[in-house]
Amino acid sequence: MAEVTPIPIIRFQAPENVFEATEWPRSIIDDEHFTVIHEVTQKKFDGPDGLDSMIISSREGTTWLHYEDNVWKRDIIGIGEPKEPRQLPNSLSPGSGDHWGSGCADVGKFGDDPFAYIATLDPFHGISACVYTKTNRGLKNVEWKRHVLDTYGTPNQRLKRGDGPGHYIVCADFDGDGNDEFLLALFGPLDRDDKDESIPPAQGPHPLKGIMYYKPIDLEKGIFAKWRIADESSARIAIGNFGGAGKLDLVSIGYNVKQYYEEPKPVTTLHLNKTVYASEAPTQAPIVPTAWDNEGLVYLARPHEVQQSQKLPLIEVANYAISIELHPKGGKIQLQKEDGIKVLYGSIHNEDDIRKPLGNSGFPAITPVTSEGSSFNAGDNGAIVLRLVPIGQDGEWAKTEDVPVKTTFELNKLGLGLEALKFKKVEDLWFGGAFKGKDFWNMTGFHFRFADDKTEIAHMQFWTAGTNVDCGAHNHSGDIFEEIHICLSPGTGNGGMSRLKDGETKATSEKDFDHVALPRLYEHGGMWYRDSYGNAVRNKENAVSYPYHKWQAGSGPNLDVWMALEFNPDIAL
Full pLDDT tens readout for the chain, 573 residues:
557 789 999 999 999 899 989 999 999 999 999 998 999 999 887 766 678 899 999 999 999 999 888 889 999 999 999 998 998 888 888 888 889 999 999 999 998 888 899 999 999 999 999 999 998 765 667 889 999 999 999 999 999 998 999 999 999 999 888 899 999 999 999 999 988 899 999 988 999 999 999 999 989 889 999 999 999 999 999 999 998 888 899 999 999 999 899 999 899 999 999 876 555 454 568 998 999 988 999 999 999 999 889 999 999 999 999 999 999 999 999 988 889 999 999 999 988 889 999 987 889 999 999 987 688 999 999 999 999 999 988 999 999 999 999 999 988 666 677 889 999 999 999 999 999 999 999 999 999 999 999 999 999 999 999 999 999 999 998 889 999 999 999 999 999 999 998 766 777 788 889 999 999 999 999 999 999 888 899 988 889 999 999 999 999 999 999 999 999 999 998
Greatest CA separation found in the chain?
Answer: 88
Taking CA atoms, 26 is separated from 8, 42, 50, 51, 139, in Å, by 12, 18, 22, 18, 29
Q: 136-172 b/e with 16+ CB inside 10 Å = b?
A: eeeeeeeebebbbbbbbbbbbbbbbbbbbbbbbbbbb
Helices and strands counted in the chain (H then E):
0, 38
What SS3 class is residue 383? strand
Q: Which helix (H) or strand (E) holds 426?
A: none
Phi and psi based region of residue 400 (left: phi greater than 0; alpha: psi -120 to 50; beta: remaining):
alpha
